Chains A and B, each alone.
Chain A
Amino acid sequence: MPLLQVKNLKTYYQTARGYVKAVDGVNFQIEEGEVFGLAGESGCGKTTVALSIIRLLPPGGRIIDGKIIFNDKNILTMSEEDIRKIRWKKIAIVFQGAMNALNPVIKVGDQIVEAITTHENVSKEDAWKRTEKLFEMVGIDPSRAKDYPHEFSGGMKQRVMIAMALACNPQLLIADEPATALDVIVQAQILKLMRELQRKMNLSMMLITHDLSIIAETCNKVAIMYAGKIVEYADTKRIFRDPQHPYTRGLINAFPSIRGPKRKLISIPGTPPDLLNPPSGCRFHPRCPYTNDKCKKIEPELKDIGERHYVACHMSW
């Protein structure tokens, strides 16, 4: 039984010009102890998937259809009260640029204590003790829990946010671009820390990023999203070794690497579509080099082509 199952999720945003179909029929699952990567470019709907899972959509956002089953229960039919018992306690999230979310006038330790006492029935003293342990876990001297956010560097603040996310021992950690705003060396340190903690705590993790290289070194499984849909979904090694969808191939080819043979960077022509009026048929067809009539008319389904490698493309590879 997987820890989390997302079935046919559709999340739309209402705007003055109509519905933006940010997530339009997304299916995936996360097993216990697994690191699942959700990759795609900006505007493909990856963050909306995360916000739907914890039901924290911004105003105008609505889940139209689908099921999100977490520990055998459908999150989407829960009462607000029940979802609050799951949020942060069972499913925690680290947002992009989360380090800027710390309250500047409250000591970082107190902010974590507050997160713990809101969700669990523990005394302040115990919560403080746990905070110090958490600090140690994320590689910060526990005495610094008494400092204010401005006394920390960007990378340290991100460590604090990870400590806060892990404060209630969640089963699932969602990390949305956890290291994007940081410099490479700090980014590598943060990702290393997350990998270590994941292994140590047997945490299930969902890593959202636009950076395929981070997926390559962190995730067991990966889903590639394009224009609100998953176009390819498989074991990470398979995706990189044998990408099937033209978009995945394009994305991998567009990625420069510091190692290996130097080659010309190949781009994908055109731009991602406007999700107010997504293209008919396969949403990638206006940019695809192999488009035929069928692609323009019929939407391809996500099909298993063997060994749980799913591809949504009319071409039979």
Chain B
Amino acid sequence: MPHVVVISMVDEVLKVINLKKYFTLRRGLLTSLIKREPPKVKAVDGVSFNVKRGEIFGLAGESGCGKTTTGRCILRLIEPTSGKIIFDGKDITNLSQGELKPLRKDMQIIFQDPYESLNPRMRVRDIIAEPLRIQRICKSRREEEEMVMKMLEEVELTPPEEFMNRLPHELSGGQRQRVAVARAFILKPKLIVADEPVSMLDISIRSEVLNVMLRERDTYGTSIIFITHDLSLARHICERIAIMYLGKIIEMGDVETILQEPKHPYTQALTAAVPIPDPDHKREIIPIKGEVPSALNPPSGCRFHPRCPYAKDTCGKIEPETITLEDGRLIACHLYTGK
């Protein structure tokens, strides 16, 4: 199928338009007899955002909000149900895996768990060189080795000769994650999806891995989608942030604006719940109760309304559309839609 080439007018590396991903559940015998439609988990339900070139864009929310699914759909690691993904001016939503292959050079991923994401039987040199081999970048083994060595130096696994031939089990968690960073950056991609890249690491190791990642970003001008549940961390890493709740983006904008003056009641609760490393800080009262409901049967209207302290009649009936406020943030809440 020929794909439409959209000429990129602005400096956006990625445009996600109304992305949806529904997971169909397997039916038991009884439900398949009674109901025709198998139940669906609406993991991502109409998400739209842009990522600028060289920007670090945060996707934050509690577990089950759909942030990881969104990240994987963007890279077409799982197939979206509907919506559009425009990468570098090209609609990649319906490209075949074969057509995607040359584009994969420009989009990479860093996974959460460095103990699972590196093949235990491959040596560090092969792990980092694999993207080069798949994309047939190097003309000689020597060239490949040089590139791998340079990358190891960049992520501070030095001297590189010492790390080249190690197996993953010979590395600490922080070192492993730096190998994953090296593997993601070696093709100088335009976009990296970093899915909770440091949440498995100890605090004292974390900033080292993050600083390596940020420096690589500065060198190559790569855009990063930073997926995290940790708002304090997001604040220090990201430039813009989108807060997700049950498969939808409910507030999005400049990271300081959103986190210091949250307007959506959910963002307000979320930011108030974050503990502050300062014993003199008096904690704000968290206005909401309960836990996130199941994405199998999301609440009608605004998905947050059963937990919202400001919920009114409209909220249970009409889903709030996303509007832009004066300060540039996007928000989906009836407190601001005037309904």
Binding site for B on A (CB under 8 A): 41-42, 153-156, 183-189, 191-192, 210-214, 216-217, 236-237, 240-241, 250-252, 254-260, 262-269, 271-272
Contact = CB atoms under 8 A, between A and B. Distances in A.
Contact of A216 (B172, B260, B275): B275
Interface residues of B, number: 43
B292 interface: yes
Contacts, number: 129
Interface stretch (B4-12, B142-150, B277-285): B277-285
B208 interface: yes
Contact of A256 (B202, B236, B278, B283): B236
B291 A213 contact: no
A216 B278 contact: yes
A187 B211 contact: no
B279 A236 contact: yes
B122 interface: no
Contacts of B95: none
Q: Name the residue among A183, A240, A262 with the largest chain B CB count within 10 angstroms.
A: A183
A42 B204 CA distance: 11
A267 B275 contact: no
A240 B210 contact: no
B229 A183 contact: yes
A215 to B, nearest CB: 8
Interface string B239-280: 000000000000000001001100000000111111111111
B281 A217 contact: yes
A87 to B, nearest CB: 30
A212 B172 CA distance: 23
Nearest to A195: B283
Given A185-B62, A214-B275, A217-B275, A254 B203 contact: yes
B277 A187 contact: no
B318 interface: no
A213 to B, nearest CB: 4
B207 A240 contact: no
Given A185-B269, A262-B235, A268 B204 contact: yes
B325 interface: no
Nearest to A271: B172
B232 interface: yes
Nearest to A156: B291
A161 to B, nearest CB: 16
Contacts of A263: 236
B233 A256 contact: yes
Contact of B204 (A185, A250, A259, A264): A250
A265 B203 CA distance: 10
Contacts of A268: 204-205, 208
Nearest to B62: A183
B232 to A, nearest CB: 4
B155 to A, nearest CB: 14
Contacts of B281: 216-217, 259
Contacts of B272: 188
Given A213-B274, A259-B260, 7 more contacts: A188-B275, A213-B276, A237-B279, A254-B204, A258-B235, A258-B259, A265-B236
A38 B283 CA distance: 21
Nearest to B286: A188
A210 B202 contact: yes
Among B204, B276, B280, B288, chain A packs the most CB atoms within 10 A around the CB of: B204
Greatest chain A CB density within 10 A among B203, B259, B260 is at: B203
Interface string B59-75: 00011000000000000
A41 B203 CA distance: 7
A216 B233 CA distance: 18
B206 A267 contact: yes
B189 interface: no
22 contacts: A155-B291, A183-B291, A183-B292, A185-B269, A188-B272, A191-B275, A192-B286, A217-B279, A236-B279, A240-B278, A250-B204, A251-B203, A255-B277, A256-B236, A258-B276, A259-B281, A266-B207, A267-B207, A267-B208, A267-B211, A268-B204, A272-B204
A146 B289 CA distance: 22
A252 B277 CA distance: 8
Closest 9 CB pairs of A and B: A213-B275, A267-B207, A265-B207, A267-B208, A188-B273, A183-B62, A268-B204, A41-B202, A256-B232
